[in-house]
Amino acid sequence: MLPLTYSRPSDVRAALAAASTQDTYFIGGGTNLLDLMKAGVEKARTLVDVNHLGLDRIERASDGGVRIGAGVRNTDAANHAMIRADYPLLSQAFLAGASAQLRNMATVGGNLMQRTRCDYFVDTAYEHCNKRKPGSGCAALEGFNKLHAIIGYSDACVAVNPSDMNVALVALDAVINVEGPNGTRRIPITEFHRLPGEHPEIDTTLKHGELITSIDLPKSTATRNAHYLKLRERGSYAFALVSVAVALTMLDHRIDSARIALGGVAHKPWFAEKASASLAGKGKDAIDYAAVAALAVDDAKALSQNGYKIPLAKNAVERALRTAVEAA
């Protein structure tokens, strides 16, 4: 860890002003950043503490949706009365992640910025990681990739996004509000994270110097018929092998609209667009669960060691969808 300069601005403008150089990082909970700094992956020289910018509120939006400040802790978001009542899917996703201690620290803004847990990325001893050292290659492509992507990867990177929250945000069609030197932007969640392509070193469409200020959730229509399912190698406190978020807007016994998202399968939280679209207008009893699940993974292609993830993801979609449909 390099010697650090630390500052604690008290408003967004001051924070943005403090974040001018490349080796300046915003720090919220620090749960991912400090981990990576200790590992030598992130080489911050200046930290700007964004915990005192007044971004720690959850508010009802005028359209009936909710705005979650970027500095809200995962625990507080999960337990907020409005989130629990209107977006239980999001609460579920938060609570499936990490541990109580980490959820108490981690902010929702930081959760959006969570970096992959690929072993080759988090350990600087490996030479070949395009995400860490652009142009150096991808050790996982031919090496250990049992936990890696099955959708949307490139030869440059097969890593997956580790977040649970992100998966729920995709199912809830969230929008990310950011503020930068050139003003504010609204980024739909599906456009916030990137596929690796030729530039896996870039995780998101956030630009350097921009700060996430809040997450907007549109007015909830999928409260009851929603479900988050996480599959992992131990009972708790582990990253997902595969996770699924399903949010259904049901009118009587018919699906009005559906959004299915997957975690643990791609470089970004994966929106299963075709599977979601196939559900629109379907009567509750007319759903071909297996067919929808198959659609969700029809773009999937296994790497050398992760073939199991395709049937696992398919079965997980089927289960989560069924649970969401059948919820009373």
Query: Measured on CA atoms in the order 162, 165, 167, 170, is the torsion positive or negative?
Result: negative
How many residues are there in the chain? 328
Report, in Å, the least distance between residue 143 CB and another protein. Answer: 6
Is the CB of 84 or the CB of 133 nearer to another protein?
Answer: 84
3-state secondary structure 1-27: CCCCEEECCCCHHHHHHHCCCCCEEEE
24 contributes a contact to another protein by CB under 8 A: no
Q: How many residues bind another protein (CB under 8 A)?
A: 70
74 contributes a contact to another protein by CB under 8 A: no
Task: Quote the CA–CA distance of 188 and 175 in Å, as a whole number.
Answer: 4
The helices-and-strands tally (H runs, E runs) of the chain is 14, 12
Task: Quote the CA–CA distance of 95 and 111 in Å, as a whole number.
Answer: 13
Among 12, 24, 35, 41, binds another protein (CB under 8 A): 35
Is the CB of 47 or the CB of 53 nearer to another protein?
Answer: 47
Among 318, 321, 324, 325, binds another protein (CB under 8 A): 318
Distances from the Cα of 199 to the Cα of 133, 195, 241, angstroms: 11, 9, 24
Task: Quote the CA–CA distance of 319 and 323 in Å, as a whole number.
Answer: 6
- The residue range among 59-67, 152-160, 264-272, 307-315 that interacts with another protein, by the rule CB under 8 A, is 307-315
Report, in Å, the least distance between residue 310 CB and another protein. Answer: 8
Contact 310, 297 (CB under 8 A): yes
C-alpha closest to that of 266 among 304, 309, 295 = 309
Among 22, 237, 251, 304, binds another protein (CB under 8 A): 237
Among 14, 49, 209, 323, binds another protein (CB under 8 A): 49
221 contributes a contact to another protein by CB under 8 A: no
Task: Quote the CA–CA distance of 140 and 158 in Å, as a whole number.
Answer: 7
Report, in Å, the least distance between residue 21 CB and another protein. Answer: 15
Residues of this chain that bind another protein (CB under 8 A): 1-6, 8, 27, 29-31, 34-35, 38-40, 47, 49, 51, 73, 75, 78-79, 84-86, 88, 91-92, 95-96, 98-102, 104-105, 117, 119-120, 122-123, 125-126, 139, 142-144, 146, 223-224, 229, 231-239, 241, 308, 311-312, 315-316, 318-319
